Amino acid sequence: MTVQHRLALILFLLLSLTGRSQAATEATAEPDASADTIYQGGPVITINDAQPSAEAVAVKDGIIIAVGTQGQIQRLKGPQTKVHDLQGKTLLPGFVDSHGHAYLQGVQATTANLLPPPDGAGKDIPALVNLLSDWAVNNQDAIEKVGWVVGFGYDDSQLAEQRHPNRDDLDKVSTELPVLIIHQSGHLGAVNSKALELAGVTAKTPDPKGGVFRRREGSNEPSGVSEEYAFFYLLSKLAARFNDEINDALVEAGTKQLAAFGYTTGQEGRATGAGLAAMSRVASKGNLPIDLVAYPDILEVETIQPTLDYQNRYRVGGAKLTIDGSPQGKTAWLSEPYHVPPEGREQGYRGYAAVDQATVDTAVDKAFANRWQILTHANGDAATDSLISALSKAREKYPSVKNRPVLIHGQVLRRDQVKKLKALSVFPSLFPMHTFYWGDWHRESVLGPERAENISPTGWVLEEGMMFGTHHDAPVALPDSMRVLSATVTRTTRSGRVLGPEHKVPVLTALKAMTLWSAWQHFEEQQKGSIEVGKVADFVVLSENPLETPEQDLADIKVLKTIKADHLVYERPSGMTAISTPALFGLVRGSGYHDHSPGALTAALGGDGCFNDALNLLYRAINSPAPEL
């Protein structure tokens, strides 16, 4: 417990001994007990079942000292107290990131936006070519610095052609500069002929373990499209141009972006060398606007030293393991075949594991032996079976270890697996945003109608009386908290279909999954996640009260302010409209820039846009030696 927490609790006890209520709301404040700040003038959703709502909150030294009615809290007002008028807007606890990649969000925030509508203009391959060409023209400084044209967020499932762009398509952007584009899933991508040349990938190049270079039909010549470790090999050629200045800029951009969506605690869900070093440097300089918890890759980082104590808003929380890939990219490991196999695969294809069972067992055993919390990426149900097997062995071997292991994603969880996760005390961090962005794709192509109904099965988890987290998995998804909320509550796809209505959850439950329950996931439920006396004054101000907003309008709620320990770290500009993505590596476009392609849309930053799915395997490309071919 920090000194600030101790002081706040001492104050609370003193007020209680003089006959005051738990919230200190009937207290006549002593001069030294007056609040630094009072928040009032709008509804307060506390996420505290003992006191679900309030009219005002008092804060001292960054800690909440009282919660109650406006009249009661006014008694804590002193001559130096600042009163924050909510003007009818809604105050909630700051969101706690259940899973994301704060460091790599900087990549998403600083490259050409290739998202499909409604979040971008990437509706077909000619549009992608135009967006990349336009980006290159407008970002000459970035081109000179790194020598590559980079785009982020295309989605073959949403392109008119229903295929990936290939080297011939990207050669239309440039034949002199290497061009690389990243799929929304982060598990696939495409490059032009120049990038293949620089990487030395030819018809004679074998596929690396855990990856595939897709080939032109009828030959071994690479098409430019690649999966998993084959793509990461190509990406490593770009990442070789990164330096400390660029890496630090990515951390700062990512955490600022999190703050813009109401997150007061962020997560780096798969950290390795360069990312860890950058986060530590940025923290030491005092440049983190919010708390940031990192989970180093247990297969990549030898020395992992978790702690519950933040230093300059940064700590290592445990370790990360990845078992498989992406369901919408059709690289997740399933127990039953994909509904429609991907290009070049036969009927019966079930995806594949990124690591074998022995590696999973060893990694999980290592975490338990050291009492580390371990977060494990398992999208397909076969990958989840692998995790359950390893956890069962570890639980039997280390029965006294209470390390709150976390399942990340669990997209294709079966009902029987949910029961097993409960028995093993596993916290599921689920990904309901898939229901909107890829629900139709899952139903029609990935899993088929029956299995698609149960992606991210929050209903089954609640049936078992379990807590869960909901996440955005930025950077491929902007950390759009309101899109997370909307998808968890409505499960409505792009076409308007409700996918798995039995898995819809009430708004308050969805908010708990973004605050108090995700704080529990991080061992921080005593300090964060609800507006209660003694907790840190981490708040978000929303344009509407989500408890009173029609379900279909939840995604339209705006984050107006984000407050970290009583300090304003983000405020939405008045009249803000969608703006284009900044240039690569911190070189920002002018605000007057517009995309001139017909019918173009631009992605929004600062609380309006959405990206999608996982980039959690990307670290191996950016921070490790290139995979061997």
Q: What is the pLDDT of residues 64-105, one digit of tens each?
A: 999 999 999 999 999 999 999 999 999 999 999 999 999 878
Fill in the amino acid letter for 74.
Answer: Q
Fill in the amino acid letter for 482.
Answer: M
Binned at pLDDT 50, 70 and 90, residue 4 comes out as low
Residue with token string 């404040």: 29
Who contacts 316 (Cβ-Cβ below 8 Å, separation ≥6)? 271, 293, 294, 295, 296, 304, 305, 306, 307
Question: Which is more confident, 582 or 523?
Answer: 523
Tokens of 516: 């108090």
| Pairwise CA distance, residues 118 & 511, whole Å | 25
Residue 31 has pLDDT above 70, yes or no: no
| Pairwise CA distance, residues 364 & 371, whole Å | 10
pLDDT tens string 250-265: 899 889 989 999 999 9
| Pairwise CA distance, residues 330 & 283, whole Å | 37
| Pairwise CA distance, residues 535 & 9, whole Å | 9
| Pairwise CA distance, residues 406 & 470, whole Å | 12
Query: What pLDDT score was predicted for residue 629?
Result: 58
Query: What pLDDT score was predicted for residue 628?
Result: 53
Binned at pLDDT 50, 70 and 90, residue 580 comes out as very low
When the pLDDT of each residue in the chain is averaged and rounded to a whole number, the result is 86
For the segment 152-174, the average pLDDT, to the nearest whole number, is 94
| Pairwise CA distance, residues 451 & 441, whole Å | 12
Query: What pLDDT score was predicted for residue 556?
Result: 95
For the segment 138-146, the average pLDDT, to the nearest whole number, is 83
| Pairwise CA distance, residues 99 & 456, whole Å | 14
pLDDT tens string 192-210: 999 999 999 999 999 998 8
Per cent of the chain over pLDDT 70 is 85
Residue 583 has pLDDT above 50, yes or no: no
Residue in 455, 187, 189, 188 with CA at minimum distance from that of residue 179: 189
Q: Is 590 helix (H, G, I), strand (E, B) or coil?
A: coil
Q: Is 501 helix (H, G, I), strand (E, B) or coil?
A: helix
Residue 389 has pLDDT above 60, yes or no: yes
| Pairwise CA distance, residues 601 & 603, whole Å | 7
Residue 20 has pLDDT above 90, yes or no: no
Q: What is the CA radius of gyration of the chain?
A: 24
Could you tell me the end-to-end alpha-carbon distance of the chain, in angstroms, rounded to an integer? 50
Query: What pLDDT score was predicted for residue 29?
Result: 38
| Pairwise CA distance, residues 147 & 138, whole Å | 14
Tell me which H or E stretch contains 193.
Answer: helix 193-199
Question: Which is more confident, 279 or 476?
Answer: 279
Residue 463 has pLDDT above 70, yes or no: yes
